[in-house]
Amino acid sequence: MINRSLDRPLQLLAVVGIILYFTVILISSYLSGPPPSNEEADGLPTITQQAAADTAVVFARQHFALSDDHNTSTLYQTHSERSGYLQKEHLFNSYTERYTQLPLDYYEVEINDLASSKTYYIDINYSNQKVLGWKTYVSPSSKADTVSAPGVDPQLLAEQTIKEQGYSPTNFTLLDTVPDLNKKNNAATPSGRVLVYESRTDLIGQAKLQLTLNVSKGQVVSFQPDFKIPAAFGEWKEIQNSSASLMTNISMGVSLIMAAAALFIIIRYRRQITFRRGLWLTLIFLIIYIGNNFNMLPAFRTSHTAGPSQFEALFYLWFLNIIIAMMAVSVYLSVLAGRQMWSRYSWNPLPEWQDPAFGSQVWVAMTRGYLLCFFILGVQQVLFFIAEHAFDVWSVNDAADSVLNMTFPALFPLMAWAAAISEETVYRLFGIAFFLKIVRIRFLAVLLPSIIWAMSHTQYPIYPVYTRLVEVTIIGVIFGYAFLKYGFMTVLFAHASMDSILMGLSLYGLGDWMHIVVGSFYLIFPGLVGWVLYRLHGNKKRRALSMPRLDPD
């Protein structure tokens, strides 16, 4: 068990972290005012994905003669560009109160009509089941009817649709009408006329409401209401995203150099290395991460272009799995090289199953990991609070990362272990030893891999993008010094506990009791893992001691 006198500082840090965490939550709740009074204000879906799909199918049958030979899929989507503009200009609350008919978050139903080779994307308000907009794509190989309906005025048809959708045509000005020649990714919108209407009254900040319609062959095949975001915001965001991409590329480049250095060390000291070490950690990382990729297949479909999204998503899935396999190799190399480098300091930061004290070491590491986790969670809350209120930091929803777009959301928190294994092996177990060899200064050896690690987190939808660089670097330094003091298993459990708690709490947002229970389970899951390993190793040791010894005579 833990020596309480030795871990008293860590216990005090945990208490400080818990106090900071709940204090910031209380202050934030006070500053943000009373909570929303209804589910729509909470931003939670009040209809099921199946109900949204049913509404979309009825609409497609009424407007496009959808055949019975079709399939549907429903995704959560969000207007991240609009949301970002509103938050940057402090217009978010004003918008959500004024434009309830144009929610930022919604369901997108994809309908693939197999008989006509057409794909429909129909946006559904997930609070009241109303159709918000739609798009039609036709495969170049489609044999659909290409005969235009005679005597139909595109402008008259467009304005009739605007009225049917609940808008007053008299409040809009026709800005443009042009031929639609758009072709993308072997699919295209039906050729016709694109009409853009701009509202005379609906304005939020400098963004005006526009309705874009495509009229083709006597049908409105596309209707998209959107706010025209000022170009200045787009340029600012592009600069931010370019900075994030640059930092990510630097992180990937340095990480690749580290992996090459690890391989060199392994080759050089191959006779001193036991190659079976690190295999279990690598395998656990690989299984969890690839399983999560399959779980996120619906999320991969949110970034579709034209036509059916399934093919693009499958291509991205297998491409990502190849990347993850390469990351697994990096994890394995980092374990072997890291152990070898620390052995030169007569220190083994990673205990093995064969060690007699392995079970008790895991138990101690798990307990210390939770204590460290509580402290870091408190620090993180303080950093977010300062960033939001002192540096005007804001974030937007990302449909590609939402638990609403996972096949089994309950499996998502398992990713805490994949993240903990990969990042702690690469940037702590090996990274600190690698940079210590180069710079010879312990603080820099802790700081530099923390910065490289933080750079890989800058493409999260949090702006300005330097926010996560600062936050994750600070957390990385804490992990780094904890690694030097307590060893690898402690920071592994601390990282896994922290992510497991945050990911578990994300399941609460789904609103149903089952996911709340599952999310609560993940709060204690790392502790359960530590206890199981402790018990299994204890039983193994007891069996070994109770085995009869053979008399050599």
**pLDDT score of 3:** 54
**pLDDT score of 1:** 43
Looking at the predicted structure, is the pLDDT value of residue 36 above 70? Answer: no
d(CA 297, CA 225): 28
Looking at the predicted structure, is the pLDDT value of residue 41 above 50? Answer: no
Q: Looking only at Cα atoms, what is the longest distance across the chain? A: 108
Better-predicted residue by pLDDT, 191 or 530:
530
Looking at the predicted structure, is the pLDDT value of residue 134 above 80? Answer: yes
Provide the token pair at 70: 């079709």
Contact criterion met (CB below 8 Å) for 430 and 265: no
pTM of the model: 0.90
**Which residues fall within 8 angstroms of residue 524, CB to CB, at 6 or more apart?**
none
Closest CA to 456 of 366, 275, 330: 330
Q: Where are the alpha helices (DSSP H) in 355-414?
A: 358-390
Phi, psi torsion values for 183, nearest 5 degrees: -135, 130
Provide the token pair at 363: 């138990």
**pLDDT score of 468:** 95
d(CA 120, CA 56): 9
**For the stretch 459-488, what's the b/e string if a residue is b when 16 or more beta carbons lie within 10 angstroms of its beta carbon?**
bebbbbbbbbbbbbbbbbbbbbebbbebbb
Provide the token pair at 112: 């693939």
Looking at the predicted structure, is the pLDDT value of residue 152 above 80? Answer: no
Q: How many CA atoms lie within 13 A of 449 on its CB side?
A: 33
Amino acid at 413: P
**What pLDDT digit, counting tens, does each position of 490-544 carry?**
999 999 999 999 999 999 988 889 999 999 999 999 999 999 999 999 876 655 5
Contact criterion met (CB below 8 Å) for 17 and 375: yes
**pLDDT score of 150:** 57
d(CA 455, CA 507): 27
Provide the token pair at 136: 């039609």
Give the SS3 label for residue 138.
strand
Looking at the predicted structure, is the pLDDT value of residue 43 above 70? Answer: no
| β-pair partners for 220 | 215
| β-pair partners for 224 | 212
Looking at the predicted structure, is the pLDDT value of residue 34 above 60? Answer: no
